[in-house]
Amino acid sequence: MPLTALMTNCPDEATADTIASTLIATRLVACANRYAPIASMYLWDNDIVQDTEVPLLVKTRPELADRVAAEIAALHPYDTPAILRMTMEASADYLSWIVEETASPG
């Protein structure tokens, strides 16, 4: 069984931490990684925007990915947050841990 990782960029560390802690507390994800701030550049409202963002990576079961994405969107302050999904493989022990730490879908 693979795992699903979802990544989003947040406007600051506090937002990333709030999203991560909520997802962990509700057992939608087993863990989260908040990375160092990055420089981002994107087109928004016909303007090129350059800003600093904080990447957040969360890991869960594939069957919880839709719920995780919906919760990220609900908690995120951006109008259109990037919520990227990646299918990953890992050791059997790590995958078992992901399953144990996340809620059964339902």
pTM for the whole thing?
A: 0.94
Q: What is the pLDDT of residues 37-71, one digit of tens each?
A: 999 999 999 999 999 999 999 999 999 999 999 99
Count of residues for the chain?
A: 106
**Separation CA 89–CA 69 (nearest Å):** 20
Number of Cα atoms under 13 Å in the Cβ half of residue 41: 1
Q: Is the pLDDT of residue 106 over 70?
A: no
Q: What is the mean pLDDT of residues 3-22?
A: 98
Task: Say if strands 3-10 and 38-44 run parallel, antiparallel, or are unpaired.
Answer: unpaired
DSSP 83: -
Which helix (H) or strand (E) is 3 found in, with range? strand 3-10
Q: What is the mean pLDDT of residues 20-32?
A: 98
Share of the chain above pLDDT 90, in %: 94
Instruction: Say yes or no: domain 3-101 is CATH 3.40.50.720.
Output: no
Share of the chain above pLDDT 70, in %: 99
pLDDT at 105: 72
